[in-house]
Amino acid sequence: MPELAASLEDLADRNLAEVARIHHRWQPAARLVEQGGLLCHQGTVPIPAPFQNCVLRTDTALPAGEAMDRADAFFGGARNPYAVHTFGRQDADLEEVLSQRGFTRQAEMPAMLADQPVAAPTIDASWRLALAASADDIAAFIHVSAQAYESLGLPSFLTPSFFVKPEALLDPQVSIVIARGPEGAPTAAAMALHTGEMAGLYWVGTLPEGRGTGLAAACTAMATNLAFERGARAVTLQASHMGEAIYRRLGYREYGRTARWSR
């Protein structure tokens, strides 16, 4: 009997691990070990954050206690903070062990996906959206991300540590949409990472002075539809509280919950 194709929801969950692998390649000094159903990534700055110091269980057959024993051994115990990502559809046992070991749920987000292209919102005609195609464009994207994600608790001076090899962001696997104003100043951006049958939307953000203009939605729509043009079965994201309503209006649906734990 032929193997059944993976569901869109399973592909969406797997996308997060693949995106961690991609971010690892952008941080040459980082360390990644993946074996036996566990991915551990130690980044370039000592903070428990996605794509910096994080753990994902990639095989639910791995017992939760063993997963956490191995994670602690990799990071050297509680003295080196790290984050653990869990998926509500499959990680109830892992979440129980995390609670027992002193981890707290720092963030919980809807895991969302779109299984067809989305309608692009109308924005003011003075704004121009385009794909990043140069080193200057990548620098603009990092600038927007740094300022935008400070609102979500990531200090702006740390954002460049995720992109130590900025030239790698021009890889065909990466699509970055940037919105620029009449004077050419970058104001919003969104990144699509193409991982086989699935693409993921990450680093969607708008400068504080550009919020309320529809730019984040426009960048998201363009990046989403480009992923479908490139053959994706679906596009996934984990929505922040600032972006959730935008994604729902575009047509993304919630298929589960994802959480980030640390201690």
Q: Enter the tokens of residue 36.
A: 């036996």
User: SS3 for 225?
Assistant: helix
- Asked if the model's pLDDT at residue 81 lies above 70, the reply is yes
Q: How confident is the model at residue 40 (pLDDT cuts 50, 70, 90)?
A: very high
Report which of 115, 144, 74 is spatially closest to residue 224, judged by C-alpha positions.
115
Taking only the tens place, the pLDDT of each residue in 19-39 is: 999 999 999 999 999 999 999
Please give the single-letter amino acid code of residue 261: W
User: SS3 for 127?
Assistant: coil
Q: How confident is the model at residue 80 (pLDDT cuts 50, 70, 90)?
A: confident
Segment 40-57 shows an average pLDDT of 94
Segment 104-113 shows an average pLDDT of 96
| Cα-based angle 245, 146, 43 (whole degrees, multiple of 5) | 105
Spacing of C-alpha 183 from chain mean position: 30
CB 216 within 8 A of CB 187: no
Taking only the tens place, the pLDDT of each residue in 203-234 is: 999 999 999 999 999 999 999 999 999 999 99
User: SS3 for 180?
Assistant: strand
pLDDT, residue 71, reads 97
Segment 130-152 shows an average pLDDT of 96
- Asked if the model's pLDDT at residue 1 lies above 80, the reply is no
From CA 10, how far away is CA 67, in angstroms rounded?
Answer: 20
- What percentage of the chain exceeds 70 in pLDDT? 97
Q: How confident is the model at residue 241 (pLDDT cuts 50, 70, 90)?
A: confident
Residue 155 neighbours by CB under 8 Å, 6+ apart = none
Annotation: CATH topology of 114-256? Aminopeptidase (3.40.630)
Q: Residue 63: how many CB atoms within 10 A of its CB?
A: 14
Could you write out the three-class secondary structure of 21-61? HHHHHCCCCCEEEEECCEEEEECCCCCCCCCCEEEEECCCC
From CA 243, how far away is CA 109, in angstroms rounded?
Answer: 10
pLDDT, residue 207, reads 96
Q: How confident is the model at residue 4 (pLDDT cuts 50, 70, 90)?
A: very low
Segment 153-181 shows an average pLDDT of 95
Domain ranges of the chain: 8-111, 114-256
Q: How confident is the model at residue 5 (pLDDT cuts 50, 70, 90)?
A: low
Report which of 69, 63, 73, 107 is spatially closest to residue 88, judged by C-alpha positions.
107
Q: Distances from the Cα of 178 to the Cαs of 32, 210, 217, in angstroms? A: 30, 13, 12
pLDDT, residue 2, reads 38
Work out the mean pLDDT of the chain and round it to a whole number. 94
- Asked if the model's pLDDT at residue 51 lies above 70, the reply is yes
Segment 142-157 shows an average pLDDT of 94
Burial class (CB in 10 A: 0-12, 13-18, 19+), 188: buried
> Strands 198-206 and 234-238: what pairing?
parallel
Residue 209 neighbours by CB under 8 Å, 6+ apart = 187
Please tell me what DSSP assigns to residue 121: P
pLDDT, residue 242, reads 86
From CA 118, how far away is CA 224, in angstroms rounded?
Answer: 7
User: SS3 for 136?
Assistant: helix
Taking only the tens place, the pLDDT of each residue in 91-104 is: 999 999 999 999 99
pLDDT, residue 77, reads 76
pLDDT, residue 247, reads 97
- Asked if the model's pLDDT at residue 198 lies above 80, the reply is yes
